[in-house]
Chain A
Amino acid sequence: MAKRKRRNIPEKHQKRHCPVEKAGVTEINYKDIELLKLFITTKGKIIPRRISGLSSKTQTKVTAAIKQARNACLLSFAQGYVPQEEEQEKPRFQGRK
């Protein structure tokens, strides 16, 4: 009897793995902004689970951490991640030439 050929499973039905668990990161803290900025948009919205590919356990942890970070003034509500820049003095206006 001939072997039955295995069907090609389309990409959307294949099993996906959580990127955080796969990397071996166990704890998610609200102070770890560099990690949290991976899961928000440039406007500061939390990326949904169907797009980010996180497991339900880690998604709840990440959303809780993002909301805490917003309250602690580490992430912006409307702009998302704001990078740390060094203070620069603005050049003074020296009159028209």
Chain B
Amino acid sequence: MKTNTFEIILITDGALTPEENQKVVEKFSEIFTKKDGTINSVADWGRRRLAYAIDKKAWGHYNFFFVTGNGAMVEEFHLQCGYDEQVIKSFVVAVKDGAKALKDFDALKEDPKKNSKLITESVGV
């Protein structure tokens, strides 16, 4: 089967402790490896306020997986997300280069206002 690189977001319940959140991340990384996927890296954005409430939950842990695998792996991931009550939302994006996507994410995490500052300075608002 054709393989692609994916950037997968997993939002877990904000009421979980960091250790409980880590257990969910380990469980899902096992699912990827079982379905012939290779995990390039795992990143964490921490606990954030959600833009809109999902199931009356206003907070969530943001976890990122950078994975190469096939379509069957993604299908299995969506299936398992439905079974797990600790997972609020999941989101899959196809990426050209996984290493570059991780690098961009780390840069964004360090300085989130870098690009917006460049625009506001050049426009002069």
Chain A contacts to B: CB under 8 angstroms: 19-20, 22-25, 27, 29-35, 37-38, 68, 70-79, 82, 84-85, 87
A-B contact count (CB 8 A): 66
Chain B residues near A70 (CB-CB < 8 A): 51
With an 8 Å Cβ cutoff, the count of chain B residues facing the other chain is 26
Known contacts A19-B119, A22-B122, A23-B119; 5 additional CB pairs below 8 A are A19-B122, A37-B116, A38-B120, A71-B91, A73-B50
**B93–A82 CB distance below 8 A:** no
Chain A residues near B93 (CB-CB < 8 A): 30, 68
**A72–B118 CB distance below 8 A:** no
Interface string of B81-119 (1 = CB under 8 A from A): 000000001010100000000001100100011011011
CB of A34 to closest CB in B, whole Å:
4
Known contacts: A22-B122, A23-B118. The answer to whether A77 contacts B52 by CB under 8 A is yes
**B119–A20 CB distance below 8 A:** yes
Chain B contacts to A: CB under 8 angstroms: 9, 11, 48-52, 54, 59-60, 89, 91, 93, 104-105, 108, 112-113, 115-116, 118-123
**B51–A34 CB distance below 8 A:** no
Q: Which 9 pairs of residues, A with B, have the shortest CB-CB distance?
A: A76-B51, A34-B116, A23-B118, A23-B122, A23-B119, A35-B116, A82-B51, A35-B115, A72-B91
A73 in complex: contacting residue of B89, B112, B115, B116, CB < 8 Å: B89
Dominant secondary structure at the A interface: loop
Known contacts: A82-B51, A84-B48. The answer to whether A34 contacts B115 by CB under 8 A is yes
